[in-house]
Amino acid sequence: MSELTFDYVIIGAGTAGCLLANRLSANATKRVLLIEAGRKDDYHWIHIPVGYLYCIGNSRTDWQYFTEPDDGLNGRRLRYPRGKVLGGSSSINGMIYMRGQARDYDNWAKLTNDDSWRWSNVVPYFKMHEDHYKGGDGMHGARGLASELLPPNGSEYQRILRHRQAGAEWRIDKQRLQWDILDAFAAAAQQAGIPATDDFNRGDNEGVSYFEVNQKNGWRWNTAKAFLRPTCYARPNFEMWTAAQVTKLLVTPQPEDGALRCTGVQVWDGKELVSVQCTGEVILSAGSIGTPQILQLSGIGSREVLQQHGIPVVHELSGVGENLQDHLQIRSVYKIKSPNGKDISLNTKAKSIWGKTKMVAEYAFKQTGPLSMAPSQLGAFTRSSPNQQYPNIQYHVQPLSLDAFGEPLHDFPAFTASVCNLNPTSRGHVHLKSGNFKDAPNIVTNYLSTEYDRQIAIESLRMTRKIVAQSALAAFQTEEYKPGSQFQTDEELVDLARDIATTIFHPVGTAKMGLLQDKLSVVDSRLKVHGINGLRIVDASVMPVITSGNTNSPVLMMAEKASEWIAEEKYRNN
């Protein structure tokens, strides 16, 4: 390890951390250290899209968290995957490119009293790093299209990024596959009143379509490829440590005024503890589970939680680890029959040696077909009932079925229609299990703990049945395998939801941004930790309310904004 003083220290080389490292190291006068607890992303299954099946639950790439038993799930515990590898969860996630709805960001602006979070003001930050396969327009960015964030006569930060030709690193591609059963489900959704759409990402994502994905030529495109290689690796002012876990933040009172300042971090490199000093900002991007854990290990959090584990209180912030939100998916499985003798489900296609050989050959030569599949291929956003003002549920539809991720495919042809409540009101928390940084924290989800969430679960299952009952699916002779058509009452459907629902891997909110008078807020609207100078949080934990869709892309947008704020403030202070 080199000289241990840096201008910026970024904790976590995940979705946010990789972009932050790219933007902040663009200034050659600033030394940037990126610290990742996991290893390099050189495991082959990371890059083959279907390889998520071999990355989730694998200590090579996953923190392997589990939730605590949840009353809302009839006492079940869930596997809770989080990426522990370069690229973080962008290396093991579903690759779906989704911004959410305009109302999400307008609500953030209202909650934080900061219009910079309004939809119209965040769109340019999405566009800045986008490389959309259709090309750029007023709502999307693409390679070769100048970003409005980088005007010719802009700030020093903007001029540096222009000089570095920054932008358009994040590839968004069309999926390289097609399934008859998914086309039929899309037609059935339209018959049920859900309009077709060709773009989920213009502020109103209502409609049905194949998802767009973060792939490039049929390979997963994670944030390590997009923002670190080769760009950052070639910069002498950039340094990266892998297999290095931050054990705590170094926070000290300043002699001139007693104000708290984060001056560095303590890191376990596998052999010894190393202290790193930071003259600028420490940026915590360890995710919605890792970030509150590191804060609490550092004595920042609820006094009650800290004292349970004998950790001295450095700075009391009662919201650390609270406000956990997630999208809970209810996975309905339907058996189907082929109307023409063809393989209509991955269940049967992957069952035979010949089928597997064909799939491997197709991917090897063309990077198309089932091995290029994201976990979910077809999506739909709609209202669970007519009294909903906005689309409030999302479908992830797959031409396969299994009991749970990691389990084998069923031995009969089937598809899965997974539906989630986009705006859950249930709240959980992440608290330390012990004062040892090697111990995973307690993750308490409290799914379906509100009457509202239970009602949306009922309506969601009924909406799934309404779609499947349409004539467009009649040729497939659908049969409800799970939860089972014999269950009809509200009480039965809620109890079944508790039995079959699982996470869709979107934990957010455990270090929420908000006004100082909000007792649960941890950071301000510029993502600075309340009461501690030199410390910022940039990851999904700062979302005050979960977005209406997959959460990876909004985190990149937040990192884009934060990079600008951090750099511009540094220039002004100089």
The angle, 0 to 180 degrees and rounded to 10, between the axes of the packed helices 552-573 and 156-163 is: 120
Q: CB atoms < 10 A from the CB of 471, how many?
A: 10
Element (H, E) at 553: helix 552-573
**CA 28/CA 32 separation, integer angstroms:** 9
420 SS3 class: strand
Report d(CA 279, CA 530) in Å as an integer.
19
**Catalytic-residue membership of 315:** no
Nearest one of 115, 118, 112 to 515, comparing CA atoms: 112
Task: For residue 452, count other CB atoms closer than 10 A to its CB.
Answer: 13
**Three-state DSSP state, 372:** helix
Alpha carbon distance 421, 463 (integer Å): 12
| Alpha carbon distance 398, 394 (integer Å) | 13
Can you say how many angstroms the Cα of residue 269 is from the centroid of all Cα atoms in its chain?
Answer: 27
Q: How far apart are CA 243 and CA 271, in angstroms?
A: 11
Strands (E), 62-201: 65-66, 79-80, 130-132, 170-174
Task: Report the distance separating Cα 36 and Cα 265, nearest Å.
Answer: 13
Strand-pairing partners, residue 170, are 130
Classify burial at 256, counting beta carbons within 10 Å of its beta carbon; exposed 0-12, middle 13-18, buried 19 or more: exposed
Single out the residue of 460, 479, 457 nearest to residue 468, CA to CA. 479
Question: 156-191: buried (b, 16+ CB within 10 Å) or exposed (e) per residue?
Answer: ebbebbbebebbbbbbbbebbbebbbbebbbbbbbe
Residues 68 and 51: beta-carbon distance below 8 Å: no
Location of structure tokens 């003259």: 279
**Which of the residues 132, 429, 506, 530 is marked catalytic?**
506
Q: Cα angle vertex 503, ends 499, 507, to 5°? A: 145
Neighbours of 408 (CB within 10 A): 10
Name every residue whose Cβ is closer than 8 Å to that of residue 313 and which is 6 or more positions away in sequence: 299, 303, 306, 307
Please report, for residues 314, 315, 447, the alpha-carbon distance to residue 520 in angstroms, rounded to integers and kept in the order given: 17, 14, 20
Residue 116 to residue 310: CA distance in whole angstroms: 40
> What is the rounded CA–CA span in Å between residue 352 and residue 393?
36
CA-CA distance, 308 to 50, in Å (whole number)? 42
Q: Which two tokens stand for residue 30?
A: 């600033």
Q: Which residues are catalytic?
A: 506
